[in-house]
Structure 1
Amino acid sequence: MTNTTLPQKTPARAAIAAWIGTTLEYYDFAVYGTSSALIFNVLFFSPELPQGISVLLAMVTFAVGYAVRPLGSLILGPMGDRFGRKFVMMITLFGIGGCTFLIGCLPTFAQVGALAPILLVLIRVIQGLCLSGEQASAISMSLEHSSERRRGFITSFTTLGASTGTLLTLLVFIPIAAMPKEQLLTWGWRIPFWLSALVVVVAFLIRRHVQEPPEFVKNQSRNVNSSPLKHLLRFHWRAVLRIVFCAIIAGTSYMMQTFSVAFGTTGYGLDKPTMLLTTTVSAVVALAITPLAGFLVDKIGRKTMFLLGTVGVGITMMPYLWAITTGNWALIFIFGIINYSLFYSMVNASWPSFFSEMFPSRLRVSGLALGTQIGFAVSGVIGPVLSTALAGPDLKGWVGPSIIALGFMIIAGASALTAKETTKYTLEQLDDLHQSEQEKAVVAAAAATPAGDARNLAAQSGAEK
């Protein structure tokens, strides 16, 4: 065994580094999703298309970024287990931010015709590949840096970035959406995409000082990470499938942030800035609720909190969409806050620790990335696209999309019921819990075999300190 001095745990620094990265990810998600609902259907597709069709096509370009994520997870997940959580976090940071900035530079349909949506889809593909490794690496980093009794709380800061990124986007987009139409459709819509560069700079300054967690360095010194994807699919495919079905619940978030905006503004002619203000207020409230829910995750359990949030968010999507059809802003705000701020914050606070603790540390990024990205891809395609299709060509139907949300709830909840509650286990105990005797024998054999690559990686990890 290589003598490697383990770095000290720095939970606060790891939590902030994870949080700022997810802020960028959801800034991209919210900027693109909001633009898909309000702008891209006008600028990137033929004006001769019916309005409902152009909105649907815009939602398809949004979904493309999610459809390619499983492929990216097959690449970036194993890289996170072999080369380091920080290594992948830096790659994804510049990949996500760079693509967001480039979208703001694209020519429109009026300028280059059909080439405009082609370039848009191409950048979304590259961006989707980068996004596939961000949260898995960030969650693993914060989990392995945290104390044993606060893993749920510390990892909840990763998904706190979902609310922060959404809020940041909407604070930018509300004045943009209120611009005169001519200015909005010529240069105003580009500003939110260009501002992503500022988030990238801040995230880089924070992340460059974070060390690899001691759990990763220890595994590298034992030479056990030579074939993470092979071992994952051989020994832990059930856990991957469980996460795929649990992650389906993310579709309700996509419906809230993208479909409902188009549903309200295009289908029912509601005021765009006020509709965006609904999700802004929901994001602000979620900033307070997510850490509180993360604190409770360590008290009542990951599984319990996830199930409570899943059932709540699935059921309350129906009254939220119905409220939009009434045009009653008070009801829209109330049900929007209940759905997203309360119940989806419970989901967001619990799933990082709930999902990541289903794997041993040496395969954590690979398993978490593959499971979540397949689930997010399926729900990211089904949520906005199928909901838009079921709403009809005039985007006025709310029952069909509500049924989609209930379907997400049933699938995710049923899958979560099959999982173990891992709150009281230490990380070392989780490694033992999730490894069969056969897998332990395979790992021991690999550790006994000289592997220059793994040893070099351990040395590099030590040199970073």
Structure 2
Amino acid sequence: MSNVAPRTSAVPAPSAAQPRKTPGKAALASFLGSTLEYYDFFIYGTAAALVFPALFFPADNPTAGLVAAFATFGVAYVARPLGGMVMGHFGDRLGRRNVLLVTLSLMGLASLGIGFLPTYDAVGLLAPVLLTLGRLIQGFSAGAESAGASTLTLEHSPEGRRGFFTSFVMTGYASGMVLATLVFVPITALPKDDLMSWGWRVPFWCSIVVLAIAYWVRTHLEETPVFEEAKEEALETGTARKLPLGQVLRFQAPDVLRVLFMSIFSVMQTIFTVFGLSYATAHGGLDKGAILTINAVTIGASMLVMPAVATLSDRIGRKPLMLTAMLGCSAALFAYFWALGTGNLVLVFIASFVFMTLLYSGFNGVWPAFFAELFAAPVRYTGMALGNQLGLLVAGFGPMIGGLLMTAGPTGWVPVAVFGAACAIAAAIAAFSARETAHTPVDELGSPYLTATRTK
């Protein structure tokens, strides 16, 4: 008999504490979660533009009702930073996966509840109060969803393809928008009495289907190896006892500000999908269904553009594509509103395609990876969520600000376009000042934090 001991120790046994990277599964989970988030947000925005002013607010002042409905759309963005801070804290301390299951459930159940709310005619002022409460819960959930999904997918992705896999976070945005639009197109064709009584509720009820599918996929996803390694290192260095919020503000506050200002660029999205819809139908004389269809086609086409742009960013860097999108959209927004004013659907489609499909996709396909890459793993969820959601406050109130800025006459949209362009230029300055991260190894991301904590 041989006296040579078997060499079983040469190959480490797999451990539950060392999860493997599953980029495809993580991308799918993020895609579905983002689909639910943006489906819910878009059906709310569409309803706010088309039916909520008459259903949940006094009917004697339609303009005030429209501004109030847009305000309830924006109030969710007030709750988003709180959701980002609270859930980001737990995501950095306890793990990305379980927190994302909570945010997903909150979003789906809040949307389902909105579909059952009584209207102003039934319960008076209680109706807008309940509507606002449901919207706040949506916002709290959404404040953690995109940052968590981006962080989780990034940390599951292989080097050199982080942009591609993480882009599916915002591919889910396009999917959610398309689903929301496809649901609303036949709803808006209903007789007015049916639309105002039960028709508008159907899109909210349908969110339960997306919730069930996304929840099932996320329950079958492992925690990220990057988080587990960061957790072990934090225990060894003693930083695990410290709050992620305090740590990220201490060591990476400039990066939080960069993400905040870059996120302001998202005002382009809400101006296009919510304010633009209202302007096109109320002032451009365009058919609701036609505009919704154009929005669905142009945003749906971006589902192909975003992964392509993200793949390009893996090769040439994130910043060139971000800057192109920001500066390009600042000019294209004027062309979009001009096209709406002509009432010509062909021109509206061309302007929408250039603005949303080609240019805005350069931002949407890249920011989930770029924002997450600016932060070190122990504070990544918190840092990205905090900066992103504070910046999105402007985006959330973009439609309301647009309603207040708009003036009378055929060029009344110009102040709205100037506002959007100013936000885009501020975002471009922030992007220009940021570090390029595309080719930095994942364990070296967040250099200000790493330099400060590893030299102590």
One fold, TM greater than 0.5?
yes
Measure, in 2, the Cα distance between the counterparts of 1:393 and 1:123.
34
Q: Is the 8 A contact 2:30 2:168 kept in 1?
A: yes
1:376 and 2:392 are equivalent in the alignment = yes
State the match for 2:421 in structure 1: 406
How do residues 152-167 of structure 1 correspond to structure 2 at under 5 angstroms?
A: 152-167=163-178
Query: Which letter maps to 1:399?
Result: V
Q: Retained in 2: the 8 A contact 1:263–1:395?
A: no
Query: Cα distance, 1:321 vs. partner?
Result: 0.8
2:251–2:448: 8 Å Cα contact kept in structure 1?
no
**In the TM superposition, what is the alpha-carbon distance from 1:165 to its structure 2 partner?**
0.3
> What does residue 453 of structure 2 align with?
439
How much does 1:441 deviate? 4.5
Q: How many residues align?
A: 437
- Equivalents in 1 of 2:384, 2:410: separation in Å? 35
Query: Quick check: 1:19–1:158 contact (8 Å CA) kept in 2?
Result: yes
Q: CA deviation at 1:332?
A: 0.5
Q: Which amino acid aligns with 2:154?
A: L
Which of 85, 94, 102 is residue 113 of structure 2 equivalent to?
Answer: 102
Whether 1:422 and 2:434 are equivalent positions in the alignment is no
Residue 396 of structure 1 deviates from its aligned partner by 7.0
Instruction: Kindly indicate whether the alpha-carbon contact (under 8 Å) linking 1:53 and 1:393 is maintained by their aligned counterparts in 2.
Output: no
Is residue 364 of structure 2 the alignment partner of residue 364 of structure 1? no
Q: Tell me how far apart the structure 2 counterparts of residues 396 and 75 of structure 1 sit (CA, whole Å).
A: 43
- What does residue 39 of structure 1 align with? 51
Deviations 1:401-459 (A, max 9, x none): 1101111111000111101111111011225x2335442255xxxxxxxxxxxxxxxxx
Aligned to 1:173: 184
Matched, 1:342 2:358: yes
Deviation at 1:364, TM superposition (A): 0.4
Give the structure-2-normalised TM-score. 0.93
- Residue 363 of structure 1, CA deviation: 0.7
Is residue 2:103 matched to residue 1:89?
Answer: no
Letter in 2 for 1:88: V
SS of residue matched to 1:417: helix
Q: Distance in 2 between matches of 1:225 and 1:19?
A: 30
Correspondence for 1:129:
140
SS at match of 2:221: coil
Which residue in 2 is equivalent to 1:322? 338
Gaps (5+ residues) in structure 1? 443-465
The change in CA–CA distance for 1:225 and 1:378 in structure 2 (over 3 A counts) is farther
CA separation of 1:97/1:436 partners in 2, compared to 1, >3 Å: closer, same or farther? Answer: closer
Task: Give the unaligned 5+ runs of structure 2.
Answer: 1-14
2-side partners of 1:259 and 1:319: how far apart? 15
Partner deviation per Cα, 1:161-208 (whole Å, 9 max, x = no partner) = 110000000010000011111100000000000000000000011111
Question: Quick one: structure 1 residues 396 and 43, their matched pair in 2 at CA, closer, same or farther if it must change by over 3 Å?
Answer: farther
With normalisation by structure 1, the TM-score equals 0.91
**In structure 2, distance between residues paired with 1:395 and 1:120:** 33
Q: Which residue of 2 aligns with 1:57?
A: 68
Aligned CA distance change for structure 1 residues 248 and 395 (closer, same or farther; 3 Å) = farther
User: In structure 2, what is the Cα distance between the partners aligned to 1:429 and 1:105?
Assistant: 48
Deviations 1:138-180 (A, max 9, x none): 1111000000110010100111111000000001000001111
How far apart in 2 are the matches of 1:14 and 1:84?
14
Q: Distance in 1 between matches of 2:183 and 2:16?
A: 47
Query: Aligned in 2, Cα 1:395/1:6: closer, same or farther, shift over 3 Å?
Result: farther
Letter in structure 2 aligned against 1:6:
Q
Using a 3 Å threshold, how does the CA distance of structure 1 residues 351 and 171 change in structure 2: closer, same or farther? same
Of the candidates 405, 416, 430, which is equivalent to residue 390 of structure 1? Answer: 405
Partner-residue secondary structure (3-state), 1:210? coil
Task: Show CA shifts across 1:207-239 (max 9, x none).
Answer: 111101101011222324332111111111110
1:446 — aligned with what? none
- 1:188 equivalenced with 2:199 (yes/no): yes
Q: Which moved more, 1:411-420 or 1:67-76?
A: 67-76
Write out the 4+ residue segments of structure 1 that deviate beyond 4 Å after TM superposition. Answer: 393-396
Secondary structure of 1:149's match? coil
Q: Does the C-alpha gap of structure 1 residues 328 and 216 become closer, same or farther in structure 2, counting only changes over 3 Å? A: same
The residue correspondences of 1:195-210 to structure 2 (distance < 5 A) are 195-210=206-221
RMSD: 1.5
Amino acid at match of 1:173: F
| Offset at residue 43 of structure 1 (A) | 0.7
